[in-house]
Amino acid sequence: MDLHVLKFGGTSMNDHKTWKQVLEIIKNYEYPIVVVSATAKTTRQLIEAGKLAADNKLDEALELGDAIKLRHLEIIQNFLEENPHPKKTLIKESCEKKLDEKIGLLHKFLTYTHKVGELTPAMKDAIASIGEQISSYLLAQCGLATDQLTQFVDAKKIIKTDNNYGNAFPNFGLINQRIGSLETLLDGGFTPVIGGFYGEAPDGTTTTLGFEGSDYSASLIGGALHSKSIEIWTDVSGVFTSDPRFIKDAKPIPELSYFDATEMAYFGSKVLHPSTLKPAQERNIPVLVKNMFAPEESGTRIIRESAQTQKALAVSFKEDMALLTVSAYETVMGYNFLTRVFKALEDHRLAVDAVNTTEASVTIALSDSEKLDEIAKSLIEIGNVDLEREKGLISIIGYRSSDATELSNDIFDAIQPVSLGMISYTKQKRILNLAVDQTIMVETAQKIHSSLF
């Protein structure tokens, strides 16, 4: 049985017309498993509603929930009008019943949040996951209106995790135990439709896999099923040499290795979730990134080994970064100083993007957050602390030169006289990181991209 896991993102789930395109794509596969995101902007609205409720603005929060309901009702209405079916009335009633149930649940969550005056991590996950719970059920019902045997499956029955709300870690053993239910559906001729992004903790509460975690859901399912491919369907034709929304001459990359694609995702590429490729890599499953609006285009194929001949693969960039510099009060053994600094980062659960070190000082690039003020205070006992905010991190992925002259010609000549807050380069990983002021990040990335490509 050649299984294919197909993931469709928020753009794909935007309206009734894109839903029809999704269902048309699914028809081309004998044994597809479909993973979907929430409809466009829904997750952000749900989280905003939770924040409003916690901020004593319950009426505004409930209004947002009602607006989400109306938008989905409109999608269903338009879809069924353009795709008439003898069971149209039953399908519509089923969709309306599910929407009433889920929005009613949302209202309960928002009312509780208002009452306690706090949006707890557990409640935030419960609220944020409602978008995928709605979209997966409704799409499966619309599939019936096109005579496809689409079957809704609650992701909580498959994706088991720990209780690290907001960024839950999957329980691979339990996922492998539960995955057989999808194979049973496929054997019966049904196409499972599953909401991405969310799962279930051991105590039965809802968890999420992190922002844009639907990619990860698809990869977890594909890995557990040993699928023939995992396909990420989006609104661009593959992974590009940079973000085409900002870099005008960005080009699609035909083929990438798992390693390079993961690094691109980690350093700011918006196409894939950073954890997506791990389950696929362990099973050596190709990951395809394709354009649902141009399905005939080949997109990007991600595999174990990829032949690379160009000077670099891509230029990624991340905004809202900060540079944290710690300088020891006196010269100490390097390992002791660095151990204390990175222990503080671990205690605050802060991920590091790039590092530049000496024996008695270290500069770290990491995402800006409220936690940085806390860690800066905790590091004062180790050394002098300097925190620079409003930085952007530009990463040249797959860069294949350690020659100083080439480096100057490729990068530094192109961006003069830009002031750099930090430079780090690893020949083995082929990644060059540059920290610049956020206001000039895109402009600088464009210059580098033009020089390299």
In order, the DSSP letters of 55-93 are TT-HHHHHHHHHHHHHHHHHHHHHHHHHS--TTHHHHHH
Q: Are residues 218 and 341 in the same domain?
A: no
Domain interval for residue 445: 314-452
User: Do 331 and 224 share a structural domain?
Assistant: no
CATH of the domain at 416: 3.30.2130.10
Which uninterrupted H or E stretch holds 150?
strand 150-153
The 8-class DSSP code of residue 408 comes to: I
Place of tokens 């001949």: 309
Beta partners for 224? none
Same domain, 34 and 143: yes
- CB atoms near residue 82 (< 10 Å): 11
pLDDT value of residue 128: 97
Q: What angle do CA 137, 29, 24 make, to 5 degrees?
A: 60
- Regarding whether 216 and 123 lie in a shared domain, the answer is yes
Residue at 23 is within a domain: yes
Task: Indicate if 364 and 220 belong to the same structural domain.
Answer: no
Identify which has the larger pLDDT, 273 or 207.
Answer: 207
Distance CA 254, CA 252 (A): 6
pTM score, two decimals? 0.84
293 located within any domain: no
- Does the structure show a pLDDT above 80 at 236? yes
Determine the pLDDT at residue 296.
93
pLDDT tens-digit profile of 280-335? Answer: 999 999 999 999 999 999 999 999 988 777 788 999 999 999 999 999 887 555 56
Q: How many CA atoms lie within 13 A of 387 on its CB side?
A: 17
CA atoms of 394 and 316, how far apart (whole Å)? 6
Domain boundary among 203, 234, 265: 234
Q: Do 121 and 31 fall within a single domain? A: yes
Same domain, 208 and 356: no
Number of structural domains (the chain) is 2
Q: Which residue has the tokens 């499953």?
A: 285
- How far, in Å, CA of 387 to CA of 51, rounded? 28
Strands (E), 228-375: 229-234, 255-257, 287-291, 300-303, 314-328, 354-357, 361-367
Out of 208, 234, 260, a domain closes at 234
Does residue 39 sit in the same domain as residue 158? yes
Whether 90 maps to a domain, the answer reads: yes
Q: What is the pLDDT of residues 37-96, one digit of tens each?
A: 999 999 999 999 999 999 999 999 999 999 999 999 999 999 999 999 999 999 999 999
Average pLDDT score over residue span 344-369? 88
Is 417 within 8 Å of 327 (Cβ atoms)?
no
Residues 342 and 229 in one domain: no
Beta partners for 386?
Answer: 325
In a domain, 253, yes or no: no
Q: Which of 279, 223, 293 is nearest to 17 (CA)?
A: 293
Which tokens belong to 401?
């030169």
Q: In the structure encoding, which two tokens stand for residue 331, read together?
A: 């010269």
Mean per-residue pLDDT of the chain:
92
**Dihedral in degrees, nearest 10, Cα atoms 192, 195, 196, 198:** -130
- Same-domain pairing of 230 and 320: no
**In a domain? residue 218:** yes
Residue 283 lies in a domain: no
Rounded-to-integer distance, Cα 26 and Cα 151, Å: 13
Percentage with pLDDT > 90 across the chain: 70
**Cβ within 8 Å of residue 167, ≥6 positions away:** 208, 209, 210
Residues 71 and 182 in one domain: yes
Beta strands in 215-260 (DSSP E): 229-234, 255-257
CATH at 44? 3.40.1160.10
Q: How many CB atoms lie within 10 A of CB 252?
A: 17
For the stretch 372-422, pLDDT in tens is 999 999 899 888 999 999 999 999 988 877 666 777 788 888 898 888 999
Q: Round to whole Å and give the CA distance between 241 and 146.
A: 38
| CA atoms 20, 101, 214, 393: torsion sign | positive
Pair 62, 170 in one domain: yes
Question: Residue range 4-17: average pLDDT?
Answer: 94
103-107, 139-143, 349-353: which range is least confident on average?
349-353
Does residue 279 belong to any structural domain of this protein? no
Q: Region 3-31: what's the mean pLDDT?
A: 95
Residue 299 lies in a domain: no
Domain boundary among 205, 234, 263: 234
